Amino acid sequence: MLSRVASSIYWLNRYIERAENYARFIEVNLNLTLDLPRGTTEQWEPLVATTGDYECFTGRYGKATKENVTQFLSADATNPNSILSCLLAARENARSVREVISSDMWEQVNRFYLIVRDAVSHGLSSRNLHTFLADVKANSHLFLGITDATMSHGEGWHFARLGRLLERADKTSRILDVKYFMLLPTVDEVGTPFDIIQWSALLKSASALEMYYKRFGRIAPDDVTAFLILDPTFPRAIRYCLIKSEDSLHAISGSEHGAYQNHAEKRLGRLRAELDFGDLEDCLTGGLHEFLDRFQAQLNCVGDAIYETFFSPRPIHIHSTIVGSETQ
């Protein structure tokens, strides 16, 4: 597969997943504001900080209010990571590989973008924001289902899954970081009903509440943290994402598990092994925020290695030879 085609499929799926996760970021804070005790300060600034776009936001909007943050993360065309910008980028990547993806995939990406564009053009408000976020999540799920059902599960499909799951692992770590490190104002509130409300909202944002209850039965911060980081079977857990990402990477390279042929496999395998052989204590030693921050940096290194291995243009070396030269 051409590196240009592989890169477009990879980023098409990363952008769709990013748009969905930004919708989840906003939704978890909206759910929290509905359940907060009266007089409690709403926490919107941490939401911007965890996306890595804090300086860009403050330069344009200043104060982190609900309206400013939702506009920046949802509808701001100048923010390259807003939901609108992600869908535009996904659509352009899909357009460039229309001969490789199915027509159903292209139609869904195009329809998804138009839904978001039209909603943004009419303006987002408290009355329609929940519906907008639900539509973003539903259309992302629809695209995933169409991809699995209409695209051959060969090299292109594995690049799609690789991009989607690496993006999901990153965003699960970030939304967990928001709750654990930033949203809780004081240590005194740990274990209070307010704390339980926040952990429940976090699980809802990852569509994990029912699966969590089936396994643990009650809300406990350590159990929630372990579930979202270390569970090998829940599709939005970080460890699950790394396991399936590594499966796709080996399928693309043709190498066996337990070995590696390139830096991408080496870095991803090392990161996955750290979670396979780790436990919650390993995550909490030194602080969960520090663990998640380090994980995000390592995941970025995996992304860099994937680019260098599969997408980076390589120089062409031309060796000139003289065949049958005449002697005078």
Residue 305, helix vs strand vs coil: helix
pLDDT at 255 over 90: no
Alpha-carbon gap, residue 309 to 143, rounded angstroms? 27
**Structure confidence by residue, pLDDT tens digits, 147-198:** 999 999 999 999 999 999 999 999 999 988 877 655 555 556 666 777 788 7
Task: Count Cβ atoms below 10 Å from residue 258 Cβ, excluding itself.
Answer: 8
pLDDT at 328 over 50: no
**Structure confidence by residue, pLDDT tens digits, 130-160:** 999 999 999 999 999 999 999 999 999 999 9
Q: What is the arithmetic mean of pLDDT over 93-121?
A: 97
- Tell me the longest C-alpha to C-alpha distance in the chain: 99
Q: What is the pTM of this model?
A: 0.90
- At residue 36, the pLDDT reads 64
Which are the contacts of 20, defined by CB distance < 8 A and separation ≥ 6?
A: 136, 137, 140, 141
Q: What is the arithmetic mean of pLDDT over 44-64?
A: 88
pLDDT at 327 over 50: no
